[in-house]
């Protein structure tokens, strides 16, 4: 367990924030590339010792405060019988339509396909230094629906957006499975489970609040204080209602949010974010300049005003990101707030 991460969760003021990145284990990292040469992506996810080794790589190399279960958010679709391969982009065996809804596996059968994540978390916990935290993740219902219908998240999402009835029907299958998935991860040792809802920001705030938020909230309410919510491309109008709810552990915000403002006005729960991940591609001196100017408004806040901050990126680390800048980010954030 990481004390800084728990301070941010509980709103205990501190100088130096905890740090973790989405996709901190992945293709940009030599450690991952070496393991990936010897093993398929699915194998890395499903063999507990290998998944633990992948998750530990960025902790050992960059000293993040929090380790994320190494897995993928599309496994519930595989568990529901949709067939999943990676090349490296995910590919489903078939796409969801009104008439294929009945082909989804029933809950108890589907559940068997997700137990491996409990083993992954237990193996990761065992290998992880005691002063680090461990979190799990699931996909948001709308994001999983988008993949189920479209097979990818690209373009205008017309097929998914026109099928809101199907989305609600699918959610009746999916939500109990996601809830069981969260339970598996908590029992495996996840301290918090993030819901990554990458495609939710594609919807208008009105549709988000009317159609997406109730399903998200249903999962969060089942595990009070345990679910963190993040979606790329959302605006304050999307998440303001959800942020009033006491059920959530916290929220991730992407780089479109003014983070100093969000922190200063945040009533409860962690706020994770939000440096633009593309900036990690800058040459070292330029990167240093942009990082320092990003940190400046946060530095001007008192430690009480930024007590909920978990330092991270707007979205995930991109393939080919220079490792040096990832290392430098962690070091610099600790220096800036430690002095
Ligand atoms: O954060 C971590 O270190 C944990 C690992 C993690 C992966 N995927 C590993 C992965 C996490 C948190 C995810 C989340 C995920 N997966 C999301 C939500 C966040 C986001 O980036 O939008 C989504 C939409 C997926 C689905 C997915 N999985 C895609 C679109 C792809 C292929 C393209 C890509 O960006 O990598 C994957 C494959 C995948 N998931 C890889 C990794 C390391 C690459 C597989 C390989 O090595 O060949």
Instruction: Determine if ligand 1 sits within 6 Å of the CB of residue 198.
Output: yes
Ligand 1 centroid to 23 CA: how many Å? 7
Ligand 1 centroid to 254 CA: how many Å? 17
Report field, pTM of the whole predicted structure over 0.75 = yes
Ligand 1 centroid to 300 CA: how many Å? 34
Instruction: Determine if ligand 1 sits within 6 Å of the CB of residue 136.
Output: no
Per-residue pLDDT tens digits for 122-176 = 999 999 999 999 999 999 999 999 999 999 999 999 999 999 999 999 999 999 9
Best probe residue, ligand 1, of 21, 26, 36, 53 (max atoms within 8 Å of C-beta): 26
Would you put residue 320 in left (φ > 0), alpha (ψ -120 to 50) or beta? left
Give mean pLDDT, residues 291-307: 98
Residue 196 reports pLDDT greater than 80 = yes
Looking at ligand 1, which atom is closest to the CA of residue 152?
Answer: 30
Confidence of residue 294 (pLDDT cuts 50, 70, 90): very high
Question: Residue with the nearest Cα to atom 22 of ligand 1?
Answer: 198
CA distance 119 to 122: 5
Ligand 1 centroid to 110 CA: how many Å? 21
Instruction: Determine if ligand 1 sits within 6 Å of the CB of residue 72.
Output: yes
CA distance 209 to 191: 27
Give mean pLDDT, residues 310-335: 97
Residue with tokens 């002063």: 131
251 to 4, 69, 130, 193: CA distances (angstroms): 16, 18, 25, 11
- Tell me what the pLDDT averaged over the chain comes to: 97
Instruction: Determine if ligand 1 sits within 6 Å of the CB of residue 62.
Output: no
Beta-carbon contacts of 225 under 8 Å, excluding residues fewer than 6 positions away, are 247, 248, 249
Q: How many CB atoms lie within 10 A of CB 93?
A: 12
Is the C-alpha dihedral spanning 24, 200, 114, 99 positive or negative?
Answer: negative
Instruction: Determine if ligand 1 sits within 6 Å of the CB of residue 253.
Output: no
CA distance 62 to 57: 8
Q: What is the percent of the chain where pLDDT is above 90?
A: 99
Q: What is the pLDDT of residue 171?
A: 97
Per-residue pLDDT tens digits for 49-67 = 999 999 999 999 999 999 9
Residue with tokens 């990292």: 29
Q: What is the pLDDT of residue 55?
A: 98
CA distance 300 to 142: 37
CA distance 120 to 189: 10
Residue with tokens 């991952």: 32
Q: What is the pLDDT of residue 11?
A: 97
Residue 266 reports pLDDT greater than 90 = yes
Check: CB of residue 184 under 8 Å from CB of residue 177: no
Check: CB of residue 247 under 8 Å from CB of residue 237: no
Confidence of residue 20 (pLDDT cuts 50, 70, 90): very high
CA distance 69 to 45: 9
Beta-carbon contacts of 319 under 8 Å, excluding residues fewer than 6 positions away, are 26, 27, 28
CA distance 307 to 298: 11
Per-residue pLDDT tens digits for 218-238 = 999 999 999 999 999 999 999
Ligand 1 centroid to 333 CA: how many Å? 25
Residue with tokens 């205008």: 156
> CA-based angle 166:167:172, to the nearest 5?
95
Per-residue pLDDT tens digits for 63-121 = 999 999 999 999 999 999 999 999 989 999 999 999 999 999 999 999 999 999 999 99
* Burial profile 250-273: b = 16 or more Cβ within 10 angstroms, e = fewer: bbbbbbebebbebbbebebbbbbb
CA distance 8 to 271: 8
Beta-carbon contacts of 39 under 8 Å, excluding residues fewer than 6 positions away, are 47, 50
Confidence of residue 339 (pLDDT cuts 50, 70, 90): low
Instruction: Determine if ligand 1 sits within 6 Å of the CB of residue 85.
Output: no
Q: Of the candidates 195, 181, 31, 63, which has an alpha carbon nearest to the alpha carbon of residue 133?
A: 63
CA distance 174 to 178: 6
């Amino acid at each position: 367990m990481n004390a800084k991460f728990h301070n941010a969760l509980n709103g205990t003021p501190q100088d130096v924030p905890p740090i973790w990145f989405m996709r901190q284990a992945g293709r940009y990292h030599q450690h991952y590339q070496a393991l990936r040469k010897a093993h398929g992506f699915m194998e890395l996810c499903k063999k507990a010792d290998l998944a633990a080794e992948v998750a530990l790589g960025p902790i050992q190399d960059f000293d993040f405060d929090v380790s994320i279960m190494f897995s993928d958010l599309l496994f519930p679709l595989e568990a529901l019988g949709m067939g999943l391969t990676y090349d490296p982009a995910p590919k489903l065996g078939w796409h969801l339509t009104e008439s294929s809804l009945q082909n989804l596996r029933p809950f108890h059968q589907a559940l068997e396909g997700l137990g491996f994540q409990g083993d992954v978390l237990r193996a990761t916990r065992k290998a992880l230094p005691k002063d680090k935290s461990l979190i799990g993740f699931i996909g948001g219902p709308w994001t999983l629906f988008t993949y189920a219908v479209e097979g990818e998240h690209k373009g205008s999402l017309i097929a998914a957006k026109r099928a809101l009835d199907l989305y609600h029907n699918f959610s009746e299958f999916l939500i109990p499975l996601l809830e069981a998935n969260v339970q598996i991860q908590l029992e495996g040792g996840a301290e918090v489970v993030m819901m990554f809802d990458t495609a939710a920001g594609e919807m208008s705030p009105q549709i988000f609040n009317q159609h997406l938020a109730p399903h998200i909230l249903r999962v969060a309410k089942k595990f009070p204080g345990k679910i963190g919510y993040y979606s790329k491309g959302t605006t304050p109008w999307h998440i303001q209602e959800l942020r009033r709810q006491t059920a959530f552990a916290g929220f991730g915000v992407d780089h479109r949010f003014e983070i100093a403002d969000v922190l200063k006005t945040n009533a409860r729960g962690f706020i994770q974010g939000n440096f633009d991940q593309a900036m990690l591609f800058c040459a070292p001196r330029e990167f240093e300049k942009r990082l320092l100017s990003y940190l400046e408004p946060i530095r001007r806040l008192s430690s009480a005003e930024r007590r909920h901050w978990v330092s991270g990126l707007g979205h995930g680390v991109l393939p080919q990101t220079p490792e040096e800048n990832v290392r430098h980010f962690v070091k610099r954030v600790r220096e800036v707030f430690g002095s």
